[in-house]
Amino acid sequence: MDLSIAALLAQDGITNGAIYALLALALVLVFTVTRIVWIPAGEFVAWGTLTLAGLQTGVAPGTLKVLVGMAVIAGLMEAWGCVRRGQAGRLPRRLAAWTGVPVVVAALVWWLAPMQLPLPVQVLLTLVTMTTLGPLLYRVAYQPLAEASVLVLLIVSVALHFTLVGLGLWFFGAEGSRTPAFSSTSFTLGGVNISVQSLLVVASSLALIGALALFFGRTLYGKALRATAVNRAGARLVGISPDFAGALTFALAALLCGFSGVLIGPITTVYYDSGFLVGLKGFVGAIIGGLSSYPIAAAGALLVGLIESFSSFWASAFKEVIVFTLIIPVLLWRSLTTTHHEEDE
Amino acid sequence: MLGSRAAFALFVAVLAVVPQVAPAFWVTLGNYIGLYSIVALGLVLLTGVAGQTSFGQAAFVGLGAYTTAYLTTKYGTSPWLALAIGMVITAAVALFLGFITLRMKGHYLPLATIAWGISLFYVFGNLEMLGGHTGMSGIPALSFAGFELKSENRYYYLIWAITLASLWATNNLLDSRPGRAIRALKGRLEMAEAFGVNAARLKIVVFVYAALLACISGWLYAHLQRFVNPTPFFITQGIEYLFMAVVGGAGSVWGAVLGATVITLLKQVLQDVLPWMFGRSGNFELIVFGILMILLLQFARDGLWPWIERIIPRRMPPPVPPAEPLPARDRATRAGPLLEVRKARKQFGGLVAVNDLSFEIRPGEILGLIGPNGAGKSTTFSLISGAAALTSGDIRFRGESIGGAPPYEIARLGIGRTFQHVKLIPQMTVLDNVALGAYLRGGSGIVRAALALDGAEEARIKAEAARAIARVGLADHTFDAAGSLPLGKQRIVEIARALAADPMLLLLDEPAAGLRFLEKQELAALLRSLKADGMTVLLVEHDMDFVMGLTDRLVVMDFGEKLAEGQPADIQKNAAVLEAYLGSVV
């Protein structure tokens, strides 16, 4: 391997790593606020790509059907909850939020889809669709079990992963999709060829991470989520609804994952079931961060990207093996430095 | 009426008849259900009972299958030797994975097993010597002593014999000394460790046990199919095994068989029906599986087995037969106090919770440790019981230093304890809960327990537990689920559990908290009668009325320091104590 190949691999690794970093952040966010190990994050990545690919060809993506279906189920659940608690007066507002908004979003995207609008608008539509889907998923699958153990929530995640993969095959078909690159130009810097696409991926990941940092540091809602992550019961006592925190977390996480999907689309062909492995690579990053530290998780994800890139050069058949066995030394190190184990009921 | 034995006999009879009367397709399904049940059984123990989980069981199945496939085809090794080698490899991998994850919080094991499951799949698929993605064929059929298992029907009997044997062993295990400890792993770690259970080690052992069951299933699978490829060992199948355990009911060994049956049949039906419903083929059963699973967890988290269990009536268990008592502790009296706390200090950062506290407990007395909220009573309790480490100072029990010793060492020396928030295993009987107290007085391990070789010791432990239950006056509740008793009785069960350990000193952490007046009176009467038998008791309490009539001496704490010490009547008149409790009298 000479320097130019190394530079190329590093560039690939950093590009992929930046995408995994978004995922790792989403996973840490979801885990700290809701205790959910969010296995289906990968499906949101794949659906992000496939939704954008649908919009590219001027077809209303299957995601919209899922969106409307979930909105109806969420509406029914809200209605049942309000009736059972004798709070029928709250129902109109809740229905507007849980069913009305998603249906309007779906209708808008469905109406705009055939117009084949410019790429940035399509990206925006994709992100709006995915971000709306996140809270619905939380409402329907997780919220009724919000107080259950981490283990039960994890099994729900896995079940949900199965369901979403099945739905993905149904709505997107078995064929893979690739979305066009944002830019096909490249330039040479110090003898190394750098593609503008890679720069755009890294820059937009950084921008999103920066926006997230601002959200958590400066806004009331961001602080509310941080408070929930630190102490759920305490946050509840000062008026932060855990249901709201969960929904908001899933909106943000869905946005991050959907955005990863948009970024990964031009790099690799995405199939309905591609999300699982991509999501797990995000998990490797998140585990390096102990499912609690954002910066270490992001750095870990970058490391995963680099290792993947270099191992695909040296031992491409064992690329996945190498990436996933990476967590063994990480866990070993964590285990040896953890002095106590906690009661986890 | 159908008893549980009759139900079991009927089940075995139906199993035995199936290959004789049913079409071959049913035998094939039966074979798979048996193979899956063995794997799901391991998960019932791991997930349902011990509260850990693994998505990587399919990879252990693969390890068993590939080991035998490789050794028997390449080297002509005997399948039985290959099984042994496969089990050794599996145990080594499981030990390693368990070691690196099980000391941490519960979600690291499942995540590590996902990574392990995926990695092994790609290793199988990419190694030339294992046939890559096409797999390996030509695996010989099993034979014993010249009798070759040529047909699926013959395998059927072998598979189900092994399945039933695994069920028998696991059931034995659950009703044994290590089994009670395993049942405490789910959410009762602190309690289990206080009675001498090495929780981290036991978790690893359970994980290895589950992995070995999976390995055996894989070995059977390879010789049944005579062919292996990587697909059935992917993480998807690993997840399906977990679904089986959860659907069946992860709390009972029969849940494994039920879950394996339901999922296998459901999958068969769905694969036929769904493509027809949707008008094209696809993985539609995945959608249905996922949704069913989520509904099940939302509405019936204990799975399907409890519903079937309700149909099978339980016979009232016979009274516990008397048995030779377990060896008792040497109670030779020695001069001096039983327990001495010498300048014990506990700091949390800048906060001094216990500030150079000294007092002693004399043999045969009931000593009350009282004080207002935040005085440091509970921290002192934790220091004595080993739940928290001393910052400085020393604690001596019968002249021997126990400062810094782990909880199980302190239990071994003869200090029994109860918990401020009752820590019983609610679904377990009072008898089993109390028997856990005698954990350190027995020695049977997993293997003896699984093979039912621990009968004599088990009878003695049960008799000892029954004696402790009778001692505290709860004999009528021996076979009730501990969680079904009112709080007052649960507190008394905790005392019985502590007594089962044959302690010389009993530490009670706010035993009267939350009790009604009559319950408090019963508790006081029990403590008095224990004292009359020579038991020494340390009572941490803030209910003044309760301690005044009961204790011989009181130690009063405030702000981490000893405020006063003496007879209850003197303490009641002590000005400093009155000020601490009621505010200063101007």
Please state the ipTM of this predicted complex: 0.85
Taking CA atoms, what residue in B is nearest to A330? B100
Taking CA atoms, what residue in A is nearest to B49? A345
Q: Which of the residues B129, B281, B298 would you substitute to probe the A interface, choosing the one with the greatest number of A C-beta atoms within 10 Å?
A: B298
Question: A-contacting residues of B 421-480, CB under 8 Å?
Answer: none
| B408 confidence band (pLDDT: 50, 70, 90) | confident
- Whether chain B has a CB inside 8 Å of the CB on A313: the answer is no
Q: Which of B397, B392, B385 is nearest to B353 (CA)?
A: B392
| B303 confidence band (pLDDT: 50, 70, 90) | confident
pLDDT of residue B33: 96
Q: Which residues in A lie closer than 8 A to residue B234 (C-beta atoms)?
A: none
Tokens 């069920």 map to which residue?
Answer: B167
pLDDT of residue B585: 53
d(CA B228, CA B484): 50
- Whether chain A has a CB inside 8 Å of the CB on B281: the answer is no
Token duo for residue B454: 């621990």
E strands, B378-480, where?
Answer: 392-397, 400-401, 415-417
Element (H, E) at B165: helix B152-174
pLDDT of residue B492: 92
Determine contact, residues B64/B90, Cβ cutoff 8 Å.
yes
CB atoms within 10 A of CB B477: 18
In sequence order, the β-bridge partners of residue B558 are B561
Question: A-contacting residues of B 34-63, CB under 8 Å?
Answer: 47, 51, 53, 55
Determine contact, residues B505/B414, Cβ cutoff 8 Å.
yes
> Residue B192 pLDDT more than 80?
yes
The CA-to-CA distance between both ends of chain B, in Å, stands at 76
Q: How far is CA A125 from CA A79, A105, A262, B387, in A?
A: 29, 9, 11, 56
Q: What is the DSSP letter of B429?
A: B
Q: Which of the residues A145, A162, A319 would you substitute to probe the B interface, choosing the one with the greatest number of B C-beta atoms within 10 Å?
A: A162
The string of DSSP letters for A216-270 reads HHH-HHHHHHHHHHH-HHHHHHTT--HHHHHHHHHHHHHHHHHHHHHHHTTTS-B
> Residue B48 pLDDT more than 60?
yes
Q: Which residues in B lie closer than 8 A to residue A168 (C-beta atoms)?
A: none
How many interface pairs between A and B have CB atoms less than 8 angstroms apart? 146
d(CA B453, CA B494): 29
d(CA B353, CA B376): 5
d(CA B111, CA B101): 9
d(CA B410, CA B408): 5
Strand order in the sheet with B392-397: B351-361, B339-348, B392-397, B400-401
- Whether chain B has a CB inside 8 Å of the CB on A28: the answer is no
- Whether chain B has a CB inside 8 Å of the CB on A80: the answer is no
- Whether chain A has a CB inside 8 Å of the CB on B107: the answer is yes
Token duo for residue A216: 């958590």
pLDDT of residue B465: 93
Q: What is the CA radius of gyration of chain A?
A: 20
Q: Once rounded to an integer, what is the mean pLDDT over residues B263-291? A: 79
Taking CA atoms, what residue in A is nearest to B281? A170
Q: Domain B28-311 falls in which CATH fold? A: ABC transporter involved in vitamin B12 uptake, BtuC (1.10.3470)
Nearest by CB to A334, from B104, B190, B282: name it: B104
Each residue's pLDDT, cut to its tens digit, for chain A (345 residues) gives: 677 788 888 888 999 999 999 999 999 999 989 989 999 999 999 999 999 999 988 888 889 999 999 999 999 999 998 888 888 888 888 899 899 999 999 999 999 988 888 988 999 999 999 999 999 999 999 999 988 888 888 889 989 998 999 899 888 888 888 888 877 777 877 777 788 888 888 898 888 888 888 998 889 998 998 888 888 888 888 888 889 999 999 999 999 999 999 999 888 889 988 888 898 889 889 988 888 888 888 999 999 999 998 988 888 778 888 888 887 788 777 777 765 544 443
- Whether chain A has a CB inside 8 Å of the CB on B278: the answer is yes
Asked if the domains B28-311 and B339-582 are classified in one and the same CATH topology, the answer is no
- Whether chain B has a CB inside 8 Å of the CB on A159: the answer is yes
Q: What is the CA radius of gyration of chain B?
A: 29
Q: Which of B232, B225, B219 is nearest to B63 (CA)?
A: B219
Q: Which residues in B lie closer than 8 A to residue A152 (C-beta atoms)?
A: 297, 301
Can you give the pTM of this predicted structure? 0.87
CB-count burial class (<10 Å; 0-12, 13-18, 19+) for A36? buried
CB contact under 8 A, A284 and B115: yes
CB contact under 8 A, B118 and A170: no
Domain ranges of chain B: 28-311, 339-582
- Whether chain B has a CB inside 8 Å of the CB on A292: the answer is no
d(CA A16, CA A100): 37
Amino acid type, B359? F
CB-count burial class (<10 Å; 0-12, 13-18, 19+) for B351? exposed
Determine contact, residues A44/A300, Cβ cutoff 8 Å.
no
Which residues are CB-contacts of B543 (< 8 A; sequence separation ≥ 6)?
Answer: B512, B513, B520
Q: What angle do CA A37, A39, A44 make, to 5 degrees?
A: 125
d(CA B359, CA A212): 55
pLDDT of residue B539: 92
Three-state DSSP class for residue A171: helix
Determine contact, residues B536/B505, Cβ cutoff 8 Å.
yes
Q: Which of the residues B193, B297, B302 would you substitute to probe the A interface, choosing the one with the greatest number of A C-beta atoms within 10 Å?
A: B297
CB contact under 8 A, A151 and B53: yes
Token duo for residue A17: 């790593």
CA B447 to chain centre: 16
- Whether chain A has a CB inside 8 Å of the CB on B312: the answer is no
Q: Which residues in B lie closer than 8 A to residue A342 (C-beta atoms)?
A: 105
Q: Which of the residues A151, A161, A280, A323 would you substitute to probe the B interface, choosing the one with the greatest number of B C-beta atoms within 10 Å?
A: A151
Q: Once rounded to an integer, what is the mean pLDDT over residues B18-42? A: 93
Taking CA atoms, what residue in A is nearest to B285? A166
Q: Which of the residues B104, B128, B201, B301 would you substitute to probe the A interface, choosing the one with the greatest number of A C-beta atoms within 10 Å?
A: B104
A330 or B345: which carries more pLDDT confidence? B345
Q: Which residues in A lie closer than 8 A to residue B242 (C-beta atoms)?
A: 155, 158
The answer to which of A109-113, B322-326, B527-531 has the lowest mean pLDDT is B322-326
CB contact under 8 A, A163 and B290: yes
d(CA A43, CA B566): 69
Q: Once rounded to an integer, what is the mean pLDDT over residues B256-267? A: 92
Q: Which of the residues B47, B102, B105 would you substitute to probe the A interface, choosing the one with the greatest number of A C-beta atoms within 10 Å?
A: B105
> Residue B88 pLDDT more than 90?
yes
pLDDT of residue B281: 63
CB contact under 8 A, A159 and B186: no
Average pLDDT in chain B: 88
pLDDT of residue A162: 87
The string of DSSP letters for B3-71 reads -HHHHHHHHHHHHHHHHHHS-HHHHHHHHHHHHHHHHHHHHIIIIIITS---S-HHHHHHHHHHHHHHH
d(CA B190, CA B192): 6
d(CA B515, CA B244): 42
- Condensed to tens digits (0 to 9), the pLDDT of residues B103-133 reads 776 678 888 888 888 888 988 988 888 988 8
CATH of domain B339-582: 3.40.50.300
> Residue B403 pLDDT more than 60?
yes
pLDDT of residue B316: 72
Three-state DSSP class for residue B294: helix
CB contact under 8 A, A166 and B239: no
Nearest by CB to B100, from A151, A154, A328: name it: A328
The CA-to-CA distance between both ends of chain A, in Å, stands at 51
pLDDT of residue B278: 67
d(CA B15, CA B13): 5
pLDDT of residue B235: 86
Q: Which residues in A lie closer than 8 A to residue B59 (C-beta atoms)?
A: none
Nearest by CB to B297, from A155, A277, A327: name it: A155
CB contact under 8 A, A155 and B200: no
Q: Once rounded to an integer, what is the mean pLDDT over residues B459-479? A: 92
Q: Which residues in A lie closer than 8 A to residue B47 (C-beta atoms)?
A: 151
